[in-house]
A and B are shown apart, each in its own frame.
Chain A
Amino acid sequence: MSEKVLSIDKTTLDMLDKAKKDGVETAWDRKEALKAPCGFGAAGVCCRNCTMGPCRVSPVPGKGAERGICGATADVIVSRNYARMVAGGTAAHSDHGRSICLDLYHTSPDGDIKVKDEKKLMKVAARFGVKTEGRDIYEIAHELAATGLQDYGRQFGEPCLPPTLPEKRREIWRKLGIYPRAVDREIASVMHASHIGCTADAESMIKIAMRCSLTDGWMGSYMATEFSDIMFGTPKARHTEANLGVLEDNQVNIVLHGHEPTLSEMIVAAAELPEMIELAKSVGADGINLCGMCCTANEATMRHGVKLAGNFMQQELAVVTGAVEALVVDVQCIFPALAKLSESYHTKFITTSPKARIKGSTFIELDEEDRMGSAKKIITEAIMNFKNRDRSKVMIPELKSEAEVGYSVEQILNKLDGVVNSHIGPMQSAKPLADVIVAGVIRGAAGVVGCNNPKNVHDEGHIEVIKGLIKNDIIVVVTGCSAQAAAKHGLLRKEARELAGPGLKKVCELVDIPPVLHMGSCVDISRILELVGTTANHLGVDMSDLPVVGVAPEYMSEKAIAIGTYVVTSGIDTWLGVVPPVTGGPEVVDILTNRIEEWVGAKFFVEPDPHKTVEQIVARVNEKRKKLGI
C-alpha cells in the first residue's frame, strides 16, 4: 500500500492498520494490486457488445484505430457504455422500488408489514388517481401498489409523474422527446439501442439514456421512497450517532448493510422483542446493538435512529474490528470480498436476497410469508455467534459523532412552519425556503450525494465540499454515503451551524436545524427532487432557474451515474468528483458538459478538487441568481 493518505476518517485509518496487522486485504489493497487501470476502459473506448470484439479504439481523435469492427466511432462506443451504466443504475433503483411496491401490495392489518402513515397513503393515492373516500385503508394501499406497479411495465398511455414536477419541465422533456414511459421499458430500450448495429449517434444515445434515468428519479426511486414512508413511517427529526465507534464492546453487534428497508425494518422490530433481548443476555451479552451501513443504515436511521456504523468504504473495516457478530445484507454495493474477509474473523456474513447471492456467505432468505420469522432467525444466528468473538482480536475505535437525522420533505415543511407568522401563512409550504433564497440570506441549495471511491481520499471530497458550501451560505442536503460522511464528521449536528456563513447560520437558528440535512438513502434523492420541485412550483419557475446544484464528490456506482443523469435532466447542474469513463469521446464530453445545457438548462461539471468544486458552484449559483433577478 502506498503512503498516500487514504482517508480523512481516523477510525478508517486505525482499522486499516489493524487489517494490515491481521493480514487481511481491503478494497484499498485490491485497488493497489490492480495497478494502473486500463486507459481504454477509463476513457470509455472499449466495447464488448458483440463477439466480433472486444474492440478498443483510440481515445485520441485522429490517432490510432478510430473505429471498431462494426464501424462504431469512439463517441458511439462511449455513449453506449455510458447509457448502459445509466440503465444499470436505473435497474438497481427501480427493482428496489418494485420490491417496495410489491410489499405494499401485500400489506395486511395483521401481517408483518402494515400501513403506518395513513396520511401519506392518502396523499400518494390521490396523485395516482386512486379513490380514497370511504374506502378501507388496505384496499387503497393495494390499489395504489397495483397502480404504481403498472408504471414499471406500462405499454400504453403516460406514467404518473408527481405533481411536484413543474409543468415547464414536462414540456421541455416532451419537446426533447425524452418524456419517460415505463421504467422497465426504458431500461430495455437502452439495452436495445446500445446493441451492436443499433444507435450510432452519441446525441441520440445520450437522450435515450436521459429518458431512462427519468424513470429512476421520478418513478422508481420516487415510488420506493413514497411507498416506504407509507409502510414504515415518514421520517421525523431524531438523534443518532455515527462512525465505527458505535459498535459496543459487550453487546451483540449486528451490522445491517444494503439498501431495501424491508429487511432492516423487520430486523429492527425483531431486535426489540423481549425474547431476542433475553436470548442475547443468556449468552452473556448486555443486549443487541443494531448498526447500519450504506443506504440500509440511512433508511433505518431516518425512521428509527439506528446508529450509523459507516459508509461504503468502511464495510470491510466493520468486520476488521472483530466485534461484529453478523453482517446482514440484502442488495447493492455489498463487496463480495466480505465473504472471504469474514473467514478471518468470527463474523457471520449473512445474505438474504435471491437477487444478491454471494458465494461463501450464509444465505438466509427473507421469507415473504414469514418475514418476522426470518428476521428472528437471522438475529438468533448473530446472538449465538457472540460466544465465538475472539476478545484478543477486538478493537473498537473510540471515535463516534452525534448526528441529527430524519429530514424528510414533510419534516422540513414542519420545521419551516415554525418560522411562518400565523397571521400571514400559509403553513406546510416551501415559501419560507423560497423566501430566504430569493432574499439572498441563503445563496442556494446543494444536494451532496453519492458513494465513496478509493480513487479519492475517503470522505475528503464529501466533507470539504459540504464545509465549503455551507460557509458560502449554501444550504446542503445529503443522502447516501455522503450523509454518513457528514454524520461522522459532526456536520449533522445543530452546532455545525457555527461553520456556516452568516445567512445560513441565521436561518439554522430560526428554523432550529443543522446546516446539513440528512434526507435519507439514495432512492430518497427523490425527496430532494420533491423539495426542489415544490420550491420551483411555489415561485412559478422551472427547476433549472433555481440556484440549486447536485454534487457527487466520490461517486462510484452506476446508480450514481443514473442519479447524476436524472438530476441534470431535471434541470439541476451536477458536479462529479470522479472522472466518468467518457473522456475518449469528444462529442460525448461536449454533450454532457456543454450542449446538454441547451436541452435541459443544466449540465455536468467534472472536478476532482473539492475546493475548486465549491468555487465553481458558488459562481454558478450567483449566475443563476442573476438570471432570475434575485
Chain B
Amino acid sequence: MNLFQTIFTGSKQALAAAEGIVKKAVEEKGRDHKVAFPDTAYSLPVIYAATGKKITTVAELEGALDIVRSLIVEEEMLDKALNSGLATAVAAEIVEAAKYVLSDAPYSEPCVGFVSDPIIRSLGVPLVTGDIPGVAVVLGECPDAESAAKVIKDYQSKGIMTFLVGKVIDQAIEGNVKMGLDLRVVPLGYDVTSVIHVVTVAIRAALIFGGVKPGNLAEVLQYCSDRVPAFVNAFGPLSELVVSCGAGAIALGFPVITDQTVTEVPTLLLTQKDYDKVVKTSLEARKIKIKVTEIPIPVAFAAAFEGERIRKND
C-alpha cells in the first residue's frame, strides 16, 4: 500500500473507533451527558482550535464525527494526506473524550492521560526561555527496555520534555527511568489515541501563549510548527492508525522518526534503525540545538533532575 493510502486507511480506522465509542457513550450516558476534560478552559482543545466551537455534550461529540469525515478526502495529494492525519487527531480526541465520559477516572498510575491547563502554563516559561529545548513524543515499543531507557534518559539529560505512549511506558519503568512532570518524563497512556494529550499541549500553547484565535486552524498549525519544538519517535511495528497519527504530527510541523522501514519523506518522516543515533537524528530533524556544557561528573546532570526526590531507599 502506498503511503497516502496507508494514512487514509488509518484515518478511517480512527473514525470507525470514534464512532464505536461515541455510540457506546450515547447508549450508556445519553446524548445530554456532559463532555469535558479535567481542568481546562479549552473544552476539547483540538476541535476547539480547529472549529472555534466548544463541545459540551455527548450529542455535540457525536456531531463532531462529521469534522473527522470532512477531513478525510481520499485524493493522493499532500494537503489531503495531512488533513487526513488531522482527522485522526480529531478522532483520537473524540475517543479520549468519550473515555472521560464513560469513566470518571479513565487513567490511573503510571499514566496521566489528559494534561491540565495549569501544567501547560507552568511549562510555558521554560519552553520560551529554551530551558526545555524540545518536546519528544516517544510511542510504541522498543525491541528491549534497555534501548528504550537509553533514548529516554538521553532526552531527559538534555532537558527535553518526553511524553510516553504505549508499551514504551512499561519499558521505561523496567529501565529505571524516573518519571514525573518535574522529571520531564510523562507517561500518557497505553492506547495510541492517548497521544492526543500531547497534541493538545501544543495546540493549547498556540491558544494560550500564541494568542491564536480558536477556529483559525492554519494559524494554530503555523504556531506549532514555528514555536513548539516537538517531534515524534515511533518505535516498533507501525499500524495504519499510527502512520495516520504521524501524518497529523507532520501537519503540526513535527517530524516523525521511526525505527521501522517506511516510505521516508526528507526532514518529516525518517527511518533511523540505530538507537544510539535516534536522539541526535531527532534533534537535527527538529532543528533543536542544545547548548552543552559538559561537567565531568559520574551522574546525569540536567534541569530535568531539579525536582527529583531522594527517597530513603535510594
Contacts and interface: CB of A to CB of B under 8 A. Distances in A.
Interface of A: 416, 419-424, 432, 435-436, 438-441, 443, 473, 501-503, 506, 510, 622, 625, 629-630
B281 interface: yes
Contacts of B9: none
Contacts of A419: 266-267
22 contacts: A420-B266, A421-B272, A421-B281, A423-B272, A423-B277, A423-B284, A424-B281, A435-B263, A436-B266, A438-B3, A439-B3, A439-B4, A439-B263, A439-B265, A439-B269, A440-B3, A440-B78, A501-B78, A502-B77, A503-B77, A506-B78, A622-B76
Contacts of B281: 421, 423-424
B285 to A, nearest CB: 6
Nearest to A626: B2
Interface of B: 2-4, 76-79, 81-82, 263-267, 269-272, 277, 280-281, 284-285
Contact of A436 (B76, B77, B265, B271): B265
A421 B270 contact: yes
Nearest to B264: A435
Given A432-B266, A440-B3, A421 B285 contact: yes
B287 to A, nearest CB: 11
A502 B83 CA distance: 12
Given A421-B270, A503-B78, A439 B277 contact: no
A625 B4 CA distance: 12
Nearest to A443: B76
B277 A435 contact: no
Given A422-B284, A439-B264, A629-B2, 4 more contacts: A419-B266, A421-B267, A424-B271, A424-B272
B2, B4, B265, B272 — most chain A CB neighbours (10 Å): B265
Contact of B2 (A424, A473, A503, A630): A630
Contacts of A421: 266-267, 270, 272, 281, 284-285
A629 B1 CA distance: 7
B284 A473 contact: no
A78 B269 CA distance: 52
A114 B284 CA distance: 41
Nearest to A438: B263
Nearest to A433: B266
Contact of B76 (A422, A423, A435, A440): A440
A414 to B, nearest CB: 14
Contacts of A630: 2, 263
A356 to B, nearest CB: 46
B78 A473 contact: yes
A501 B82 CA distance: 13
A441 B267 CA distance: 13
A440 B78 CA distance: 8
A420 B281 CA distance: 10
A277 to B, nearest CB: 45
Contacts of A440: 2-4, 76, 78, 81
Contacts of B277: 423-424
Contacts of B2: 440, 625, 629-630
A435 B78 contact: no
A158 B111 CA distance: 69
A443 B2 CA distance: 12
A464 B143 CA distance: 52
A420, A441, A510 — most chain B CB neighbours (10 Å): A441
A441 B78 CA distance: 6
B266 A510 contact: yes
A630 B263 CA distance: 9
Nearest to B279: A423
A438 B3 CA distance: 8
Contacts of A435: 263-266
B3, B81, B264 — most chain A CB neighbours (10 Å): B264
